[in-house]
Chains A and B, each alone.
Chain A
Amino acid sequence: MIRFACACILALVAALPVRAAVDIQEVTSPGGIDAWLVESHEIPFVALEIRFQGGASLDAPGKRGAINLMTGLLEEGAGEMDARAFATARDALAASFEFDVYNDALSVSAQFLTENRAAAVDLLRLALTEPRFDQDAVERVRAQVVSAIRSDAKDPDKIASHTFNELAFGDHPYGTPVNGREEDVTALTRADVIEAKSRVMTRDRLFVSAVGDITAQELGVLLDDLLAGLPERGAPMPGKAEYRLSGGVTVVPFDTPQSVAVFGHEGIDRDDPDFFAAYVLNGVLGSGGFSSRLMEEVREKRGLTYGVYSYLYPMDHAALMLGQVASANNRVAEAIDVIRAEWASVAQEGITQAELDAVKTYLTGAYPLRFDGNGPIANIMVGMQMQGQGVDYIATRNDKINAVTLSDIRRVAARLLDADALHFVVVGQPVGLETTN
């Protein structure tokens, strides 16, 4: 394909075009669980999204990887069923449950047919509230996690991002991968897994959205059935992650033909008054489209890479501005020079009115296109809740984009972009690059 879809572009969470027919209802169950609902009865299924804020960052000290291992075990047996019985029951209902965990959230994504809703919800409730964590399942999933950790250790993309995070955040949970280190994971016990669940899967961190063939009243009953059995309170949040990197280069020698570089510096919080201006600015600098400055300079003019992009990465306990590029070992130094120069140029001079107008048209026009299915809408809505946005955000999001002026851009560019502070972690055998400091 002509370019990679950038998996890490931050979806500035969603709002609705004036004409989109997405009507969000705020539902509170009889038992007091809040959720957002969009009723859509055209297709007889429901997409349900559940999040537990905190995610893998709630790992206890010394137990990094416990929450990830626990998440992998949620579908490996619950109630009276072992892993195989659980999977057989799920398949017989043609329901789909996905469990995943990130630094700031544990996610549960479920889809089930209207005709099987009650049975599917019963099954999911068992996974969420009565997982067995059988010792043989712990060992089986642990072996998969260890295999993944070892594979990551030989994957230049993973080495680059893991190294950057470690240098940036040290001992904070953000400094190590959610999988944990091999020695940590090997040492985890079943008791650690049980403890991990009680740290993160709790009512005080819960966010829910549902889209599809269900009424508000039915959803209320479902929420209590599914989630009332969860404990009230989880572990405390880990606290702010101090950013410890300064500008420079870290080379991680790795014998491979193409160097991968992850680069970045401190970013901007999502609730900062200048966040929208920064988001628009990055749309011009490095959002990954052909018209971005970085793509133009590094790929289109010089053919130095297949893809280069930058993105804002606000997390719950830190904020980064990051980017990535990959170039042959003998060309990556030039790619990095070009990126630094463009970063400095935009920091000093900002962008043109024409660029600002074009990116605004794109961002505001693209916005409604995200709302095109039960699954995508449920995902967007649960993200909005986690970011503390109200349903009214939807109507005003594009206005906030349109309100950004060239002087806002200049101010935020000068404040945010700092070519001297950029740190590049380069994995490969880069010619003409050495670790600084």
Chain B
Amino acid sequence: MPRLPGLLLFTLSLLAAPAHADEVTSFALDNGMDVVVIEDHRAPVVVHMVWYKVGAADEPPGRSGIAHFTEHLMFKGTDAYPGKAVSEIVEANGGSDNAFTSYDYTAYFQRVAADRLDLMMALEADRMVNLTLSEADVLTERDVILEERNQRTENSASALFGEQRSAAQYLNHPYGIPIIGWRAEMETLSRQDALDFYKANYTPDNAILVVAGDVTPDAVRALAQERYGPLAPSGARAARARPQEPPQLAERRIAFADPRVAQPYVIRSYLAPERDAGDQDEAAALVYLANLLGGDGATSLLGQKLQFETRTAVYASAFYSGTSLDDTTFGLIVVPAEGVGLQQAEDAMDGVLAEFLQTGVDPEMFASLKMQLRASNIYAKDDVEGLARMYGEALASGLTVQDVQDWPDVLDQVTPEDVMAAAHAVLDRKKAVTGWLMREDVPEVTQ
């Protein structure tokens, strides 16, 4: 099918696929910094990543956006590498660099020729502890993140709607606050806020080093000990305990109308369990559930029923991302066909769910998903940067290297009964937010 722009499109894949255990080595430095090395000697390239176990969900109250703002300010220089020196040095070596902030982590990475790894470590180790910030740089960069919020969120009805849905989903947990921050709070973020956040969280014992590509574990160990080893740990770090969700007892429904909406849709998210260290079974079952309900448009239940049989929808899908420190969500989206109202689309979606809960898993489709899972382990080996991200994200989200390596087997052992048990547990409207995104000019009656 063609791409549908202007919509959140959810591409599901089984995303199992860690590299074979013999290509992955992990160890810790004496100061507590975890290290993962993934070998792939096909090209003389290396990806160097440092993942901090701190993200937007770890921000102080009222300071939303400070994790992401700090990420931006990490590119403002140190005494040893002032100004834009880090990016300039990376570029001068033919490399590229970037960074990203999520709820559970903040990560910095460079992609560079394998023989420049030591230099990348020197730069990253330096800015882990030596960041200097001028007031002028902070104020200018605050304008930049406000423009970033304009670009990502304020200019998109769908993104604004997503913020409102998340805020309704989480009654108490900070996953309900946008990563980029609420605008009014972003406007007040200061140099001191950033420095406080930096000093509290940017330490070697709160970081994971992932190096992937044309390297050996011994070489990485020696370089990491030299560059990161001398950095002092913060000492006793408190466990990452965020405010948790209370029992969710009441269904939530939200409706958002905006003149910029061209294509209305209905989307529902249910609070759902995430992968936990040593306990990934239910998350694995939910991966199958998402694929069975809304993976491929032509073979999934939602797609078959709503796009092919009843023609209620132009697009229908399900989504679930299990890599998360705290409770995540399982979701469904239906984009109604021309002339179909949102209530009708939602009823059709609920009809598919009800039928599925009665009739259970189609064995042929289940077998096909298992085949695709096995294949994904092979295809994933072609993308070493993807593997590096998978390990970094998992380790920053409370999982271990062992959990990542067990994941394909955990997925492989899921039974249709497991999927149905997970479906019955998760598809509970009391824990769900149902949202309607609407055109402003066409009134819809909400319930």
Residues of A within 8 A of B (CB): 1-3, 5, 17, 19-21, 40, 42-45, 47, 68, 71-72, 75-76, 83-84, 86-88, 91-94, 96, 111, 113, 140-141, 143-148, 150-156, 158, 179, 255-258, 260, 289-291, 299-307, 326-328, 358, 361-369, 371-375
Given the known interface contacts A20-B43, A256-B155, A371-B43, the answer about A365 and B296 at a Cβ–Cβ threshold of 8 Å is no
Given the known interface contacts A1-B98, A289-B87, A369-B113, the answer about A87 and B299 at a Cβ–Cβ threshold of 8 Å is yes
Task: Say yes or no: A88 contacts B299, CB within 8 Å.
Answer: yes
Residues in chain B near residue A289, CB distance under 8 A: 87, 91
Q: How far is the CB of A40 from chain B (nearest CB, A)?
A: 7
- With CB as the reference atom, state the residue of chain B lying closest to A151: B6
B421 within 8 A of A: no
B335 within 8 A of A: yes
B123 within 8 A of A: no
The complex places the Cα of A415 from the Cα of B314 at a distance, in Å, of 49
Q: How far is the CB of A38 from chain B (nearest CB, A)?
A: 11
| Binary contact track B253-264/A, C-beta < 8 Å → 1, others 0 | 000000111110
Task: Say yes or no: A369 contacts B111, CB within 8 Å.
Answer: yes
The complex places the Cα of A371 from the Cα of B376 at a distance, in Å, of 21
The complex places the Cα of A369 from the Cα of B384 at a distance, in Å, of 12
Given the known interface contacts A144-B314, A291-B91, A304-B147, the answer about A365 and B383 at a Cβ–Cβ threshold of 8 Å is no
Task: Say yes or no: A369 contacts B98, CB within 8 Å.
Answer: no
B:68-108 near A, CB below 8 Å: 71-72, 75, 84, 87-88, 91-96, 98-101
The complex places the Cα of A398 from the Cα of B98 at a distance, in Å, of 24
Task: Say yes or no: A365 contacts B94, CB within 8 Å.
Answer: yes
Q: Which of B141, B146, B296, B315 is within 8 Å of A144, CB to CB? A: B315
The complex places the Cα of A365 from the Cα of B304 at a distance, in Å, of 48
Residues in chain B near residue A43, CB distance under 8 A: 378, 381-382
Task: Say yes or no: B93 contacts A365, CB within 8 Å.
Answer: yes
Given the known interface contacts A158-B5, A303-B143, the answer about A372 and B45 at a Cβ–Cβ threshold of 8 Å is yes
Given the known interface contacts A19-B44, A45-B378, A147-B4, the answer about A140 and B308 at a Cβ–Cβ threshold of 8 Å is yes
- With CB as the reference atom, state the residue of chain A lying closest to B4: A148
Residues in chain B near residue A256, CB distance under 8 A: 154-155, 260
B53 within 8 A of A: no
Residues in chain B near residue A303, CB distance under 8 A: 139-144, 147
Residues in chain A near residue B296, CB distance under 8 A: 87, 91
Residues in chain A near residue B384, CB distance under 8 A: 372-373
Residues in chain B near residue A150, CB distance under 8 A: 262-263
Task: Say yes or no: B151 contacts A306, CB within 8 Å.
Answer: yes
- With CB as the reference atom, state the residue of chain A lying closest to B43: A372
B311 within 8 A of A: yes
Task: Say yes or no: B299 contacts A366, CB within 8 Å.
Answer: no
Residues in chain B near residue A42, CB distance under 8 A: 42
Residues in chain A near residue B375, CB distance under 8 A: 94, 113
The complex places the Cα of A71 from the Cα of B311 at a distance, in Å, of 21
Task: Say yes or no: A258 contacts B155, CB within 8 Å.
Answer: yes
Residues in chain B near residue A154, CB distance under 8 A: 6, 260-262
11 A-B residue pairings within 8 Å (CB atoms)? A1-B98, A5-B98, A47-B382, A91-B372, A151-B6, A301-B140, A303-B147, A328-B146, A362-B94, A365-B92, A371-B43
The number of residue pairs between A and B whose CB atoms lie closer than 8 Å in the complex comes to 227
Residues of B within 8 A of A (CB): 1-7, 42-45, 71-72, 75, 84, 87-88, 91-96, 98-101, 111-113, 139-148, 150-151, 154-155, 213, 259-263, 296-299, 304, 307-308, 311, 314-315, 335, 337-338, 364, 367-369, 371-372, 374-376, 378-379, 381-385
The complex places the Cα of A158 from the Cα of B338 at a distance, in Å, of 22
Residues in chain A near residue B7, CB distance under 8 A: 151
Given the known interface contacts A143-B314, A304-B143, A369-B112, the answer about A260 and B155 at a Cβ–Cβ threshold of 8 Å is yes
Given the known interface contacts A148-B3, A305-B144, A305-B147, the answer about A300 and B93 at a Cβ–Cβ threshold of 8 Å is no
Q: How far is the CB of A136 from chain B (nearest CB, A)?
A: 8
- With CB as the reference atom, state the residue of chain A lying closest to B385: A372
The complex places the Cα of A50 from the Cα of B42 at a distance, in Å, of 24
The complex places the Cα of A3 from the Cα of B74 at a distance, in Å, of 13
The complex places the Cα of A153 from the Cα of B259 at a distance, in Å, of 12
Task: Say yes or no: A366 contacts B96, CB within 8 Å.
Answer: yes
Task: Say yes or no: B262 contacts A153, CB within 8 Å.
Answer: yes
Between A1, A75, A141, A304, the greatest number of chain B beta carbons within 10 A of the residue's beta carbon is seen for A1
- With CB as the reference atom, state the residue of chain A lying closest to B337: A143
Residues in chain A near residue B93, CB distance under 8 A: 361, 365
Given the known interface contacts A72-B2, A155-B6, A306-B144, the answer about A290 and B88 at a Cβ–Cβ threshold of 8 Å is yes
Q: Which of A21, A45, A92, A257 is within 8 Å of B368, CB to CB? A: A92
